[in-house]
Amino acid sequence: MPEPPTIPDEDPDAIVVQRIRSGETQLFELLMRRHNQRVFRVAKAIVSDGDEAEDVMQDAYVRAFASLARFEGRSRFSTWLTSITIHEALARQRHRRTRTDDDVEHLMDPARGPVDIASSAELRPLLEAAIARLDDPFRLVFVLRAVEQLSVREVAECLDIDEATVKTRYFRARTTLKGLLAGHAEVVAPQLFDFPRPRCDRVVAHVLQRLSKATS
């Protein structure tokens, strides 16, 4: 008799997923709130616009819920959910692509010293704008590694690429962000693409409403 698949790295979501699949569907809200920030950051890294990222989140959650019975547990639930989000965002991007390029050159100005930039209130939006200018493959890797702080292995699983490619793209992303910008990017990165509580509540409410209609 074959052994059941093991949960990678003791996936903290495994028990919740099992209970949802057993009928406690209301626990899906717990998973959404647990992963909302990452899902938002990944979606926004691709589509750029915050409101559109919320739409991507809803579609990704609905798709994940509908596919939960087919989730085999060979990767962590968070990795599986991230992959779904990436696919949903890229599909949407093929129809409507947006970029945020305003004033990035100002951040690159060599006349501005590290202290000026590090202490400037404009660093965060300009850094987000600079990241938005990266080509898709490099932006995704940078956001997952520096913003979401996933390991090289986890990024490779999310994007279905090998670890060497992750390392190469991450290096290229940092290089493209230029010397001074790259020096501050990883320090500021975990604070980027903020996902405040009202937005979290709004996404959860919309997804629950859609799931209720689909299952009624």
CATH (domain of 201): 1.10.1740.10
Residue 25 lies in a domain: yes
| pLDDT over 80 (residue 81) | yes
Residue 182 tokens read as: 């790259």
Residue 3 lies in a domain: no
Residues 127 and 164 in one domain: yes
Residue 32 lies in a domain: yes
More confident residue, 82 or 181: 82
pLDDT value for 119: 44
What CATH number is associated with residue 161?
A: 1.10.10.10
Burial per residue of 98-124, b for 16 or more beta-carbon CB atoms within 10 angstroms, e otherwise: eebeeebeebeeeeeeeeebeeeeebe
Asked if 180 and 117 touch (Cβ cutoff 8 Å), the reply is: yes
Residues 45 and 118 in one domain: no
Residues 80 and 113 in one domain: no
Residue 17 lies in a domain: yes
Cα–Cα nearest to 81, from 21, 124, 17: 17
Question: What is the span of the domain harbouring residue 183?
Answer: 104-191
Residue 2 lies in a domain: no
Residues 46 and 110 in one domain: no
pLDDT value for 98: 39
Residue 1 lies in a domain: no
| pLDDT over 90 (residue 51) | no
Residues 88 and 48 in one domain: yes
Residues 109 and 161 in one domain: yes
pLDDT value for 178: 65
Residue 114 lies in a domain: yes
The count of structural domains within the chain is: 2
Residue 124 tokens read as: 């965060």
Nearest 10 degrees: Cα torsion 48, 52, 55, 60: -20
More confident residue, 124 or 141: 141
Residues 178 and 207 in one domain: no
Residue 70 lies in a domain: yes
Residues 109 and 67 in one domain: no
Instruction: Tell me how far apart the alpha carbons of residues 216 and 212 are, in angstroms, rounded to a whole number.
Output: 6
Q: What is the pTM of this model?
A: 0.66
More confident residue, 102 or 9: 9
Instruction: Tell me how far apart the alpha carbons of residues 215 and 99 are, in angstroms, rounded to a whole number.
Output: 37
CA 143 to chain centre: 7
Instruction: Tell me how far apart the alpha carbons of residues 173 and 14 are, in angstroms, rounded to a whole number.
Output: 33
Residues 55 and 123 in one domain: no
Residues 91 and 56 in one domain: yes
Residues 205 and 171 in one domain: no
Instruction: Tell me how far apart the alpha carbons of residues 137 and 168 are, in angstroms, rounded to a whole number.
Output: 11
